[in-house]
Every structure is written in structure tokens, then in C-alpha cells.
Amino acid sequence: MTGPAGAGPAGAGPADGRTGAGPPGGGLEVRGLRAEYGAARVLHGVDLTVPAGEIAVLLGPNGAGKTTLLRALSGLVRARGTATLGGVALLGRAPDELARLGVAHVTQEGGTFGPLTVEENLRVGAQARPWPRRGTAEDLERLFTRFPVLQARLSQPAGTLSGGEQRLLAIGRALMARPRLLLMDEPMRGLAPQTASLLFRTIHAINRDEGTTMVIVEHNVTAALEVAHRSYLVESGRISDMRARRRW
């Protein structure tokens, strides 16, 4: 991601967990990722690569481990193995620290703050970047061109929005953080077909215009593959197939 958020904290060096020579804006590398809930192992040594500026989609049946993989990368599930973003180690960090490093996660539940207005939710998203007040107005303006419904609901409490509108707000809030890595778990869930189509066109545009690296879990295989540079099939906690393709 271009701009200050993609540059990482000032003076970044070994103390920041850099484990390789990759640039701060480099891609995602995951090796031997294992995670469990109690005694139940969910991920069994997952390996995947998402070059900087690409979109990867995770496909597979329910219970395969796709959601757990995203949660491990955003610090919501403890995991072992290695995962780096531009050479910076991700595992073992708290979610708020990962957010400051440029990792944004839109969960299945969305995670908006119901009592806060739409505008307040979006401004909360900007707090994750190193300079939260710099460029906020410009980011809001750009976001509203993509999701005009959010501008129309600006002063409305998030909890009063429809399910689809809350989903767009959660994605918009994540984008306000100017993420280097955007993780999205079933972004089309609960959306009307027209809104879902708008969302995937917007995902395409964000990736094309801003170079944001993305990992998306989605059950609408046709729609997901239309925006993906590469796809991973997840089965029983393992990657069983990977395919790379050129969209443009």
C-alpha cells in the first residue's frame, strides 16, 4: 500500500520482528502454520504465498480451516509456524499491534460498533495507522465514491443499518486503516446480489488502484475467481491445491 501506512514504524529494524530482507510493502509468506482450538487441531502445516499487490482466495468446504487461517494471521487465534508480511513476523503479536503493522481483518461477523455513527466507525478505522489524522478527509471522500450508501448514512448509528450496509461499513472501516494486507471472511455474506456485485467490483478497483494485498475467504467461487490472482483449496486444515492465474 502506498503512503505512510505502508512504510511501517519509523526506524523499523530487527527490534520490529523483521525476519528477512523483503521491503516493508512485500507480500505474505506463510510456512508450516498450525493452529488448534483446545485439543482439536484445525490447521496442519499450511504453506501459502501471496505476492505483494495480489489477491488470493481461499476456497473449500465449511470446517476446512479457512476462517482459522485468517484469524491466525490477524492474531485472533494462537498459531505456530511462520507468517511474514514484507519480511516482518506476524505470529505472536496482539491484534492491535498487527493492525498498526498494516493487517486489517473483516470477520464474518463484521465487527462494527453499533452505538457509534457510520462516520465515527470510519474514523475509528483510521486510528490504526501511524498518522491517523493525516489524509482522513481524502480517504473518506474516496471511500464514499466507492460506497455512496455510507455517505447517505453518515450520521446514522451503525446498529440501525441493514445487514448488508453493516458489511460494507466493516469493509470501509478496514480500508480507512490503509492496510497493507486486507483479510476478508465471506465478504458477500448477507449481501443482496446487486450490492455483492458492487462490492467485488470495488475490491477489484482497490487492488488495481492501490495495490492492496488481499486474502479472501468466499463461498461464491465464480465471483471470487473473477478477482483473484491465485486460489488455494483448503481441505481438512491443509492446502490441497493452488492455482495462479492472470486476470488482466
Enter the C-alpha cell of residue 187.
465478504
Query: Is residue 103 in a domain?
Result: yes
What pLDDT, on a 0 to 100 scale, did the predictor assign at position 110?
A: 74
- Band (pLDDT 50/70/90 cuts) for residue 107 is very high
Query: Is residue 239 in a domain?
Result: yes
Pairing of strands 230-235, 55-59: parallel
Query: Is residue 58 in a domain?
Result: yes
The CATH number assigned to the domain holding 238 equals 3.40.50.300
Query: Is residue 10 in a domain?
Result: no
Query: Is residue 187 in a domain?
Result: yes
- Band (pLDDT 50/70/90 cuts) for residue 19 is very low
Q: How many domains does the chain have?
A: 1
Model pTM? 0.85
Closest CA to 192 of 171, 228, 216, 165: 165
246 or 230: whose pLDDT is higher?
230
Task: Give, to the nearest 10 degrees, the angle between helix 193-210 and helix 163-176.
Answer: 10
* Per-residue pLDDT tens over the stretch 157-172: 999 999 889 999 999 9
Query: Is residue 92 in a domain?
Result: yes
d(CA 38, CA 241): 27
Which structural domain range is residue 227 located in? 24-112+179-244
What pLDDT, on a 0 to 100 scale, did the predictor assign at position 69?
A: 98
Query: Is residue 169 in a domain?
Result: no
Contact 33, 83 (CB under 8 A): yes
* Per-residue pLDDT tens over the stretch 50-74: 999 999 999 999 999 999 999 999 9
pLDDT above 90: residue 26 = no
Mean pLDDT over each residue of the chain, to the nearest integer: 86
Query: Is residue 13 in a domain?
Result: no
